[in-house]
Amino acid sequence: MNWNEITTLEEWKDILAKSSERGQVILKHSTTCPVSANALHEYEQYLESAPNDQIDYTLVKVIESRPVSNQIAEDLGVKHESPQIIFVKNGEKYWTASHWSVTKAHMTAVLD
């Protein structure tokens, strides 16, 4: 399964709206941070296994798409961290983890 990258506020608003129909997972990723590189690797490992196919998976690069990253934090009432994974259902944060807690095992336990 693949993830999609979003770069615009319109794309974020679409994802937030879709969360009423399907779960949405967003990985906020910093392209300059080694901890974030590890989180991206874990995210990809999860998606290469047998991920929950009732969920859409998205990536936001926090430096390149700062307005989107900030809007996610504001809309969900979640303090910005990077790396950070957020599971959104019905327009609200259902679960979040950051830094070294973004692991394939943690995603499997929560999402499957």
Summarize pLDDT for 56-99 with one digit per residue, the tens: 999 999 999 999 999 999 999 999 889 999 999 999 999 999 99
How far is residue 83's CA from residue 13's CA, in Å, rounded to a whole number? 21
* 23 phi, psi to nearest 5 deg: -60, 150
How far is residue 108's CA from residue 27's CA, in Å, rounded to a whole number? 15
Does residue 1 have a pLDDT over 80?
no
- Copy the structure tokens of residue 54: 């009732």
- Copy the structure tokens of residue 63: 């430096």
Does residue 50 have a pLDDT over 90?
no
Q: How many residues does the chain have?
A: 112
Q: Note whether 101 and 35 are within 8 A (CB).
A: no
